[in-house]
Every structure is written in structure tokens, then in C-alpha cells.
Structure 1
Amino acid sequence: MRFGLTADQRALRDGTRRVLARHFDGEALRGAVRERGPGGDGAALRAAGPGAVDRGLWRALGDAGFFALRLPEADGGAGLGLPEAVLVFEEAGRALLPGPLVATHLAAGAVPGAATGETVVTAVAGGLVEWLAEADTVRGDATGAVPLRSLDPLTPLHRVPGGAATAPDPLAVLLTAAEQLGTAGRVAELAAQHARAREQFGRPVGAFQAVAHLCAGMLVRTETARAAVYAAAVTADPVDIAAARLLADEAAVRGARDCLQVHGGMGFTWESEVHLHLKRAWVRTRRSGVVAESEEVLAADLPTGGC
């Protein structure tokens, strides 16, 4: 049996990439970061307050069916499944699309306006809540939430006392893993591009063994995570989702760190996309609880008994 993407799924993935490129391309990403401080100065960006959800972008995503993807056609949705949602969220992660995408998608059909992008929805997850000040609807108890200084300049955060005790939604975990997969794939691509273009001693830096090994490791981790995330989207099994989350987190965080190494000091500049992927990947690892929770799910599934 073959488990490759169908022609329709490939068309959905490619169409999503085109839509995101039209509404949130690299220049839009840099513009969103520049808005956090005058002239794109790093210190000013770190000191700036939370940004605002781009309501025009949110409605454009609604028009494209991003949030209503899994709703039945009778309810105005596309009638697609979890595998298709994973492909779409992988592209969102690749583009570093900002905003509480997962929470709004999961609220479609339950919260008026979420499916069309007219309503911004966020949710308490793992003791944190993203975009609290900008959300129209908060799912979960955010009482007593206090603002945090987020590592990611495009993801404002609040901490909710006692929120960590809330069990994460497995679908939210899987869609977050899909976003992590998108980051892993994108940074592997950026590293390979830089390794081919940048020259030292008259040779592309990718010709040097240390750089080549970094790029190869990124590719291996990305493809391993992709297999796990896609499989979990088919089975929707909590154990498979836990495994996908762990592999996708590793692929995104280690991949972004290795990509920074390939880029050298250039990767740390505010003009570069690379460090933004690393910071978003770090934030996503905390979105659905700590890693230990997924490890416990896997440990509980291990067979017991002696030889």
C-alpha cells in the first residue's frame, strides 16, 4: 500500500503556499517585525508591546477556507479531514504565519465567526495563552493571566495560574506539530540555499564536511518528523500524536539552531528569517504542555512484563 499524498492533497498544499505567499510573503513578515519597533532595531523590538492581529489577513484566511477546512460542506466548510488540515498548517508554519491559528481553526463551527475569520479565538494551553489581548473569544479559564515577555516578537504571551493542569487537546498538539514540521522544512531549505551560495576559500561552504553534515542532519530529522506527523493525522491516535509532537519539536528547534550555524552571524540579524523560526519553534514547544507529558503518553504505551 502506498501512503504518498494524493493529487488533491498536493494541489491543496501548493494552493495554500500560493495563498500565503500572496497575503503574507517574506516582505510582509519583515514588515510585521519592523512594526514592533522603530527602524527594526533589535532592542526596541524586544521592549515593544504585543502587536495586533492583522484582521485583513485573518479574513483573507477565512475566505480561503483555512479555518473551515474540516467543517462539513453543509455548514459552509470544505468537508476535508485531519490529513488535509495538517498539510495546511505545515504551510502556515513554513511561512511563520502569526496569530492563534490552531485555536481559531478548532473553534470553527463552535464559535460564531471563527470559520470565516471574523472572530479571532485563542485558548488556554499548557498554562499559556497566546494573543490574549487581541482575541475576541478565549476558550478556557484565563482568569488572573499575567503578560510575559515572549521570545517570539510575533507571539504575545500570557501565563495563566494553574493552567498547566489542563490536559492539552490532542488535535491542537497535532496541528502544532504540523507547524513545527513547516519550520523544520523551511530552515532546512534556507540552510541548503545559503550553503550553496556562500563561498569561503573559493568554494561554497556546503562543500565543507561540517556544513554538509549539518544540512544532512536537518533533512533526516525533517523527513522523520514528516512521516510521524502524517501518520498521526491518519490514525488520530494519542500515542502517534505524542510521538509526532516530540519528533516535530526536535526537528524544528534543532533544525533552526543548525540553520543559524550554517548562516553564521548573519542568521542573528533582524533582517534574517532564521532566528524568527527558532524563536517561534521554542514558543510552540510550550503551547501544548511540557515535553514530559508526551513522553509519559509514550511510556504508558510500552509493553510491560519480563522476558
Structure 2
Amino acid sequence: MDFQPTEDQRELRAGVRELLEGRYGREALRASVDTGVVVDRGLWRELGAAGFFALRLPESAGGVGLGLAEAVLVFEEAGRVLLPGPLVATHLAAGVVPGAAEGTAVVTACDLGDGLVTYLGEADALLGAAELPAGSPVRSADPLTPLHRVPSYADVSSYAPEGALLTAALQAGSALRTVELAVRYAGEREQFGQPIGAFQAVKHLCARMLVRAEVARTAVYAAAVTSDPGEIAAAKLLADEAAVLGARDCLQVHGGMGFTWEADVHLHLKRAWVRAEQWRTATEAEEGLAEELLRSSTSSPTR
């Protein structure tokens, strides 16, 4: 089976990258951190107009009529630039919550455990609920992912597989971006009269980052094509690992500079920590994958 993107898919990815780089580059990212405005309503509407949220709605319902394979390419690009906001929940709400497909409504979901909800203060609706519940603010590791604890929890289990896969795509995009950041810094920073990228230890760090990121991306693409529950569980596991460990290795390459507030690397790590708990945790993904493997082994004919 060929998991390489088609020409149309590559053009879609390039178009989304151009839009996001133009509207949410590094200056916009840092402005979000400094101002605390984590959801840009203007950009949200632009994403809606570009079909980001209605990508998988049928054309008869006003959507683009594409599938999960195209959706993961789009979400990968959003992960690269650390675009904040409940992207997955709003995408899943298209066709269900009025305004979600067009980007005129921001929809969040109960996609975390312990009664936690992301972006509740910025949301117009909660997926699977008739109205937004009241919530108590909870300190978040990521400055661009505000958290609230709510007393009632809306069931989103029917959305969980797709939610997990799209979150994995965000993680894969972040992992690929940290590879770029590490390689660029390794080529610029000099010690002992040469770039630190010339040292074997740094080469090994960057190589490990690249391998993890590419394996995760391949797993995400495969799961998008097959929609197999086991493939989705594996993709979430690999993407979470690639994003978290990749950001840590990127910090290592940057040395002390990576731990400063001005560097962007810590933002990738903090977002990766939060996303690793969204829709499907590592433990849940491992259990799901184990169940699928066990089911597959017991259903296989014996010889």
C-alpha cells in the first residue's frame, strides 16, 4: 500500500502552510504568549473560510468533501506552528454545532481526564453538551492551553478515535518542527571554532529526533488511510513520544539557551505534554493497541 501524498494532497498541505506561516508566524506565537490571547477569532474565521474545519464534511452539506488522509496533513501543519485553540474539537463539531464548520464558533470538548477541559473560557460550545458548563481555572503547563475543571463531563467517546488521530497529527507536526529548530541551531552555534553540529553527540541527538518524527508521521498517515483502531492507537503512542522526546532533545541541542523564555523550544515541550493527555493517553493507547493485537491473534485461522 502506498502512503505517499498525492499531488493534490501536497498542494493542500502547501496551501495550509503558506496560510499559517503568513498569519501565525513566530511573532504571532510570541504575541499570544505575551498577551494571553490564545484564540484569534479573525484567524479562526479565516481557517473556516479555507475549509480547515469543514474539510471532511460532504460537499452537499457545504464542506470540502475530503477525508482523514487530508485532515492529518492539515493538522500536521497546525502542529508545526503551535497554533493554539481547540482545533480538533471544532473540526469534529463541523456539521454538528452551528458555526463550527465556518469558524464563527469555537468548540471545545471534554478531551482530558480528571474533569479538565481546554479552552473553556474561549469556547462558544462544548462538544456533546447542550450548553457550556461553569468551570474553575486550573494552572496549565502550557501558557497557550488554558484549563478549567468542570463538574459535569460530556461524553465524547464516539469521537475519540478521530480525535486521537488528529491530535497525533498535531504532535507529529511539532516533532518535525523541533527537528528543524535543532538542526538550524546546531549549524549556527559554534564552539571550539566549529558549528556544534559537527560533533558526534549532537549529530546523534538530531538523528534520533528525525527518526522518531518520521516514524510517527508514517504511522499517522497509515492510520488515516486504514482507520484501523490499532493503527490509530499506535500512531498516538508514537506521535506523543516523538513530540515529547523530540522537544527534550531539541532543548539539549540548544543547551542553556533552550531553557530561556525567549526560545520557542519550551513551548513545543509544554504543548506536547498537554496533547499527550488529550483524547487518548499513553496508557489508554497501549491498552487499545493490546486489545486489537489480541483480537487479531485470536481471530486468525490456525494451521
TM-score with structure 2 setting the length: 0.91
Residue 9 and residue 166 in structure 1: after superposition, are their counterparts in 2 closer, same or farther (change >3 A)? Answer: closer
* 1:178-224 CA-partner distances (Å, limit 9, x unpaired): 00000000000110111111110011101111111000000000111
* 1:229-261 CA-partner distances (Å, limit 9, x unpaired): 000000111111000000000000000000000
Contact 1:126–1:164 (CA<8 Å) still a contact in 2? no
| Aligned amino acid, residue 290 of structure 1 | T
**SS of match in other structure, 1:212:** helix
Residue 16 (structure 1) aligned with residue 16 (structure 2): yes
Aligned position for 2:90: 104
Residue 166 and residue 6 in structure 1: after superposition, are their counterparts in 2 closer, same or farther (change >3 A)? Answer: closer
2:189 aligned residue (195, 198, 202): 198
Aligned position for 1:186: 177
Unmatched tracts of structure 2, length 5 or more: none
| Aligned amino acid, residue 61 of structure 1 | L
Give the fraction of aligned pairs with identical amino acids, expressed as a percent. Answer: 65
CA distance in 2, matches of 1:123, 1:227: 27
CA distance in 1, matches of 2:235, 2:15: 25
CA distance in 2, matches of 1:3, 1:140: 33
Aligned position for 1:134: 122
Contact 1:68–1:108 (CA<8 Å) still a contact in 2? yes
Deviation at 1:145, TM superposition (A): 3.7
| Aligned amino acid, residue 18 of structure 1 | E
Contact 1:232–1:241 (CA<8 Å) still a contact in 2? yes
| Aligned amino acid, residue 149 of structure 1 | R
Residue 79 (structure 1) aligned with residue 104 (structure 2): no
Unmatched tracts of structure 1, length 5 or more: 37-50
Contact 1:126–1:165 (CA<8 Å) still a contact in 2? no
Residue 186 and residue 114 in structure 1: after superposition, are their counterparts in 2 closer, same or farther (change >3 A)? Answer: same
Paired residues for 1:191-230 under 5 Å: 191-230=182-221
CA distance in 2, matches of 1:161, 1:34: 30
* 1:58-96 CA-partner distances (Å, limit 9, x unpaired): 111111111111111122211111000000000000010
Contact 1:164–1:289 (CA<8 Å) still a contact in 2? no
2:40 aligned residue (29, 33, 54): 54
CA distance in 2, matches of 1:58, 1:175: 17
* 1:90-115 CA-partner distances (Å, limit 9, x unpaired): 00000100110000011111111111
**SS of match in other structure, 1:169:** helix
| Aligned amino acid, residue 136 of structure 2 | V
